Amino acid sequence: VEFLYCDLASMKSIRQFVQQFRAKNCPLHVLVNNAGVMLVPERKTEDGFEEHFGLNYLGHFLLTNLLLDTLKQSGTHSHNARIITVSSATHYVGKLHLNDLQSRCSYSPHGAYAQSKLALVLFTYRLQHLLTANGSHVTANVVDPGVVNTELYKHIFWVVKVVKWMTAWLFFKTPEEGASTTIYAAVSPEMEGAGGCYLYNEERTKSADVAYDEELQRRLWTESCKMVGISDEASRLP
């Protein structure tokens, strides 16, 4: 195991990480996008993005795009490279505000978090479409880990924290249990060559209806490229 530092809330840190990783000339067979914050008070990343959208979504969007060439070179016909992005059931109630992705008009921690998780699902489906169109040996899937007992809940109201502490053993998954579907997506032979799936409890299931809106997927992708400063080559693909 080798550790390389990467702050997903910093575009500069992400680019530095990718440079360091590429310098090692290592193949990349599995990329798991798992960083995240939840229900944080209104604040911005160093790049000026609303934190939920900037860290949970844009950081992963940039990281994945910068590593795509390495992933494509690492995948083969019989052993595809795999991209696994961790979303949440919260995406089912999320709304994507393309005219206000930074939640400047009306900030809600719950709304901003749900939007970032919906964006990750839309991103995964669009990414898989582009990978397929290019004939790449890379698959992209999105995972719902369930309700997991981690420090992600540190910003919830104190009364809810007490209830969580009292009931976690009954209703919450352990971190190990929460990781199981991500691991399944990353290494299971059953997922070889399968992309564009929403996985929960190691099974393919249906995501929110709006996540399948291909026009919305395209528009989010184009806008995301502008925000992180990369070329939108995908705009020339169907």
- Which residues are known to be catalytic? 113
Structure tokens belonging to residue 54? 């900037």
Written in H, E and C, the secondary structure of the chain is: CCCCCCCCCCHHHHHHHHHHHHHCCCCCCEEEECCCCCCCCCCECCCCCEHHHHHHHHHHHHHHHHHHHHHHHHCCCCCCEEEEEECCHHHHHCCCCCCCCCCCCCCCHHHHHHHHHHHHHHHHHHHHHHHHHCCCCEEEEEEECCCECCHHHCCCCHHHHHHHHHHHHHHCECHHHHHHHHHHHHHCHHHCCCCCCEEECCEEECCCHHHHCHHHHHHHHHHHHHHHCCCCHHHHCC
- From CA 136, how far away is CA 70, in angstroms rounded? 11
Q: Which residues contact 104 (CB under 8 A, 6 or more apart)?
A: 50
